[in-house]
Amino acid sequence: MNMTIQLKKATIFLVFLLLLMSIHSIVYGQQKKEGNIQNDDIILEKERKIELKPEISRNFEALEEVENTNKGRKMTYNFVERKWEVKSPAILTTSIIGPREGDELVSSYGPKFKNMIKVGAGNYGHTLINGHFGLSPKENQYQGIYMNHDANRRGPVGTAFSARNENEVKLYSKTFTGNYLLDGSIGFKRTEANFYGRDEKKFTGNLSDLNIVYNKFHYTGSIGNAQKDAKYDYTATSGLNYLSTSFDNREWIWESKIQSVLHVTDQISAYLNGDMVLSEITTSATNNRRELYRVRPSFNYKNNRVSVTAGINISNEKDKNLSINQTRLFPIVKLDIKPTDFVHIFAGFGADTYLNSMNQFVSENNWMSNNIALKNTIQSSNIYGGIKGSNERNFDFEIKFGYSEYSNLGFFMASKADSSRFDVVYAGGDKKVQVVNLSGQINYQIFDKILSILKYDFNTYENLIVDNSKTLERPFHKPAMNLSFTNSITFKDRIIVSPDVFYLGGLYGFNPRNGLAVKMPDIVDLNLKVNYLITKKFNAFVSANNILGKSYERYLFYPQQSLNYTVGVAYSF
């Protein structure tokens, strides 16, 4: 009953806020633009877009490769189907305002990258060195190197016992021609952390006894069509990821995929998407080979008011140790109706199979146990519907409701053998886990000076049954409510201020010391970032995170840094 009341309140909240902002947006949106319904089935991007990412972090986020960002404040209107985000980061990360890019480097083949270097320092012994350097041997080619160092010598507890360190280097190359795009990269990332989620009295002996190191190597290459009006459009990608740990665990994943579309007529298109994932993991306890294949053919019909997609999703998974070789077939149906020039009403049904890997889990949670169980998550049904709209100028929104059923849905639980480490427990077998979701997003921009993004996500979980016998008390470490309000405000094109607010509620953890579920305090996080453009190529910045000074726990027994700040400078050339 309480969940039902909360869901109703959440719906009323989103609708009320939407109506308030719609009144103002209509004033700015009187000049309508003609356009067709956006096709959400496949997006074959001709250039990457850098968007404001409403996520949270206690760490000063590394500068990403920078392309044509239009100062990072341009509104975008791309609504995509919400799927189960198996790879969504469980560790809170936040976006920051990057340095001024300087002059755009543009050729007839599109935008090029900028060169820049950034250095910063802050409390908790924080050091940041970040750089991006590139060259263009030919008009249609670009090669570059990206480097990042981000570390804290001290942490929230036990000083050096909760320190962290992250270093990354990546080389890449891009080639543009009139017919195709070639893109390749190779990189290495090393992350160091400590198992500090224990009583400080146990911080004895060598620091190395609590240390964990993750070494990640990756290579990826892709080829895609460069003709924007081509009848046949495609992007094919293949890549290798290799992970090794200081516990002598190793995992490699080779993933290849293709996205393609054939425009039969102006109204009918045929899609063929597919991917292949091969993986092998070796730990002190086991060696296992796993495979996942998926093929998704579909057809789409659209006109100015209606878009209909129908297809099938065929998946085959193999697991040597679990003796699995299973093929599944899921129907795919999507309907998008545009009753007015500003509003879409959409609904759909589908399902999928998702590969879980050690690489994915340690990217979400640094403090994993040495031998974690790996099973694929099966989404046996996903029914959704909602409304989205845009005045194509300064306002867009989406409100969505979904119901899904899962097998092998993973949850993090502190290990009974060592409460500072986490195991993965999977719920859903003969009786599926039922997940009800209400989500929404509102983007609003005023005169190219203020950009605000409000995101809301509410989830309930039922039938958390493990091994068809035991029941989890709670959906451990999955928040019931996730709210973010991020902003970018520009003053006289020299000062960019970004006040952000984040809220996570309904978090529970499992305490193996007494075998009970623990209600974790709600997380309210206030951040402020200021970037001052001193000259065209030189700027100074300050980032203050967790201004309320609460050492909250995203994972049980692991308090995060309280008030932390970083001050630095950046130069682009």
Domains of the chain: 2-572 (2.40.170.20)
pLDDT at 282 over 80: yes
pLDDT at 262 over 50: yes
| Tokens standing for residue 420 | 């500072």
**Which pLDDT does position 199 carry in this prediction?**
82
Q: What is the pLDDT of residues 519-553, one digit of tens each?
A: 999 999 999 999 999 998 999 999 999 999 999 99
The average pLDDT across 27-33 equals 38
**Count of C-beta atoms within a 10 Å radius of residue 515:** 9
Q: What is the pLDDT of residues 123-157, one digit of tens each?
A: 999 999 999 999 998 889 999 999 999 999 999 99
pLDDT at 61 over 70: no
DSSP 244-288: EETT--EEEEEEEEEEEEEE-SSSEEEEEEEEEEEEEEE-SS-EE
Predicted structure pTM score: 0.83
Q: Give the integer Cα–Cα distance in Å for 383 and 367.
A: 34
Q: Give the integer Cα–Cα distance in Å for 58 and 544.
A: 9
- DSSP 8-state symbol, 521: P
- Tell me the one-letter amino acid at 58: R
Yes or no: say if 355 and 379 are a contact pair by the CB < 8 Å rule: no
Position 448 confidence tier, pLDDT thresholds 50, 70, 90: confident
**Which pLDDT does position 147 carry in this prediction?**
97
DSSP3 helix / strand / coil % (the chain, rounded to 5): 10, 55, 35
The average pLDDT across 461-479 equals 96
| Tokens standing for residue 406 | 């899962």
Yes or no: say if 163 and 152 are a contact pair by the CB < 8 Å rule: yes
* 410 vs 109: which has the higher pLDDT: 410
Q: Quick check: helix, strand or coil at residue 23? A: helix
**Which pLDDT does position 86 carry in this prediction?**
34
Q: What is the pLDDT of residues 84-125, one digit of tens each?
A: 333 333 222 222 222 223 333 333 444 444 799 999 999 999
For β-strands 422-427 and 409-414, DSSP reports them as antiparallel
Position 72 confidence tier, pLDDT thresholds 50, 70, 90: very low
For β-strands 211-225 and 470-471, DSSP reports them as unpaired
Distances (CA, A) of 110 to 69, 75, 105, 173, 537: 12, 20, 9, 15, 22
Q: Which residues, other chains included, contact 126 with Cβ-Cβ below 8 Å and sequence gap of 6+?
A: 60, 120, 151, 152, 153, 564, 566
**Which pLDDT does position 26 carry in this prediction?**
37
pLDDT at 64 over 70: no
Average per-residue pLDDT in the chain?
84
**Which pLDDT does position 83 carry in this prediction?**
37
Yes or no: say if 233 and 260 are a contact pair by the CB < 8 Å rule: yes
The average pLDDT across 235-249 equals 97
Yes or no: say if 361 and 424 are a contact pair by the CB < 8 Å rule: yes
- Percent of the chain at pLDDT exceeding 90: 73
The average pLDDT across 24-33 equals 39
| Tokens standing for residue 30 | 């009187």
- What element of type H or E holds 28? helix 2-28
Residue 554 CA to chain centroid, in angstroms?
Answer: 17
The average pLDDT across 446-453 equals 92
- What element of type H or E holds 437? strand 433-446
Position 168 confidence tier, pLDDT thresholds 50, 70, 90: very high
pLDDT at 273 over 80: yes
Nearest 10 degrees: Cα torsion 28, 34, 37, 38? -70
Position 205 confidence tier, pLDDT thresholds 50, 70, 90: low
Q: What is the pLDDT of residues 477-517, one digit of tens each?
A: 999 999 999 999 999 889 999 999 999 999 999 999 999 99
Yes or no: say if 163 and 155 are a contact pair by the CB < 8 Å rule: yes
